[in-house]
Amino acid sequence: MHCFRKVKDDLIFIGANDRRLALFEHVYPLPYGVSYNSYLLLDEKTAIFDCVDKSVSEVFFSNIEYLLKGKSPDYLIVQHMEPDHSATLDDFIRRYPDTKIVCNAKTLAMIKQYFGFDADSRSIVVKEGDALSTGRHNLSFYMAPMVHWPEVMVTYDATDKILFSADAFGIFGSMDGALFADEVDFEKDYMDEARRYYTNIVGKYGPQTLALLNKAASLDIRIICPLHGFVWRKDLDIFIDKYQKWGSYTPEAKGALILVGSVYGNTENAADILASRLSEAGVKVAVRDVSKTHFSFILSDAFKYSHIVFACSTYNNGIFTNMENLVHDFVAHNLQNRKVSYIQNGSWVPASAKLIAEQMQKLKNMETLGEVFTIKSSLKEEQLPELYALADAIAKDINNSL
Ligand SMILES: Cc1cc2nc3c(=O)[nH]c(=O)nc-3n(C[C@H](O)[C@H](O)[C@H](O)COP(=O)(O)O)c2cc1C
Ligand SMILES: [Fe+2]
Ligand SMILES: [Fe+2]
């Protein structure tokens, strides 16, 4: 059965929510689901902005059928070929063989990689700045490579000043009846999942994200229609400011994120003492157990906080396994501009701090703060002054920069 909402009288949201999927990209947990957005523009010529994931294809096709009363859409604008938006493209073409696909040359090549239908004869190939009129609406296309795949483009509707932003400004989380960000308490209820989406999915490509923001800054944008999550029609700056921060790897919050990788709990004990001392000094602290909390949440926290403390056991002469994976994930996502400190533990040769620090050196502007604090198996009373000294160095650095 159809289920849609109006963005404007002539622009209809025809996507849907998937609350069943456990892992987005078969990697990222989706505790609150995800939406796959698609938009139908009802003009002299009708245009659809992107298809949807297979899981929600039934509602998507019902919406088109109902709203167009069985007529074929004139244009399907393909902004991104990732299958969460384009897996239904061949089904779409089987249903609507006369619809013209509007896409760039890279997208056309990818369509042919994914599907066997004749894409060449059906496509209108566009490039940076090209225009398409649907009647009242004047659309133009802008390339946004690597936000989040190489072929990504976004579309600007100069008539109603709408940016169709592809994966940019997307979030994890379903839209439970609400369509607009101003219909929910976005900052309280959705910003964490927005950050987790950006940092994990696009976070590696900060410079490309900033390049897109630069292009967008020259356009008069009143509404943003992303491919996941809410449409923005008010207070766009709230989200754009976050994107500026995330894209430039600038911490959002002064505070310490303490990451614990501990087999038997002794390293965690030191981390808790450090956390208490920091808290007493007025520092905002978050402690995460890297074995228990999925890395996607921790990467998101790492983009949020200014200071990171690695508290980690040594494991087979290496970094404790889950911490090792996390550290590689930080490197893979190009995390930058953080102050880092180390607590290490080992029962024979403690080595985790040095090994983590070697990885951090691969990243830009990661500054070590305080001395490495080393535990041999369990923390001793006489070591407390040294642990407090580390906490005080971190607290001083944070409080001085507040
Ligand atoms: C499988 C395994 C391998 C370990 N390998 C090392 C090692 O190579 N070097 C070392 O100094 N300690 C090693 N340890 C000891 C850990 O670092 C030990 O768990 C730590 O000293 C105690 O801290 P925790 O209670 O936080 O785990 C290993 C422990 C386990 C269980
Ligand atoms: Fe994507
Ligand atoms: Fe996507």
Report pLDDT for 401: 81
Domain count, the chain: 2
Query: Ligand 2: distance of its center to the CA of 233 in Å?
Result: 22
Asked if residue 149 belongs to a domain, the reply is yes
Answer with the one of 223, 247, 271 that is the final residue of a domain: 247
The residue whose CB lies within 8 Å of the most ligand 1 atoms, and thus the one to mutate among 260, 268, 314, is 314
Strands (E), 200-323: 223-226, 253-261, 285-289, 305-315, 318-319
Query: Ligand 1: distance of its center to the CA of 144 in Å?
Result: 46
Asked if residue 401 belongs to a domain, the reply is no
Identify the segments of the chain with pLDDT beneath 50.
Answer: none
Asked whether residue 88 falls in the same domain as residue 201, the answer is: yes
Query: Ligand 2: distance of its center to the CA of 303 in Å?
Result: 20
Report the C-alpha gap between 64 and 77 in whole angstroms. 14
Report pLDDT for 17: 98
Report the C-alpha gap between 377 and 125 in whole angstroms. 63
Report the C-alpha gap between 245 and 242 in whole angstroms. 5
Asked whether residue 18 falls in the same domain as residue 54, the answer is: yes
Asked whether residue 187 falls in the same domain as residue 326, the answer is: no
Please list the alpha-helical segments (H only) found in 68-124. Answer: 83-86, 89-95, 105-114
Amino acid letter for position 44: E
Report pLDDT for 71: 98
CB distance 101 to 76 below 8 Å: yes
Report pLDDT for 15: 98
Domain with 375 in it: 256-396
> Is residue 173 in contact with ligand 1, taking CB distance under 6 Å?
no
**Residue 239, Cα to own-chain centre: how many angstroms?**
12
Task: Please tell me whether residue 22 adopts helix, strand or coil conformation.
Answer: coil
Minimal-distance CA residue to ligand 1 atom 29: 315
Report pLDDT for 387: 98
Asked whether residue 318 falls in the same domain as residue 237, the answer is: no
Asked if residue 332 belongs to a domain, the reply is yes
Answer with the one of 194, 216, 247 that is the final residue of a domain: 247
Whole-angstrom CA distances from 81 to 40, 78, 320, 384 are 18, 7, 37, 55
**Residue 167, Cα to own-chain centre: how many angstroms?**
9
Query: Ligand 3: distance of its center to the CA of 49 in Å?
Result: 13
Beta bridge partner(s), residue 12: 6, 40
Strands (E), 293-351: 305-315, 318-319, 339-345
Report pLDDT for 191: 98
Asked if residue 346 belongs to a domain, the reply is yes
Minimal-distance CA residue to ligand 1 atom 10: 346
Asked whether residue 243 falls in the same domain as residue 260, the answer is: no
Q: What is the CATH number of the domain that holds 159?
A: 3.60.15.10
Asked whether residue 162 falls in the same domain as residue 266, the answer is: no
Answer with the one of 218, 247, 276 that is the final residue of a domain: 247
Asked whether residue 22 falls in the same domain as residue 111, the answer is: yes
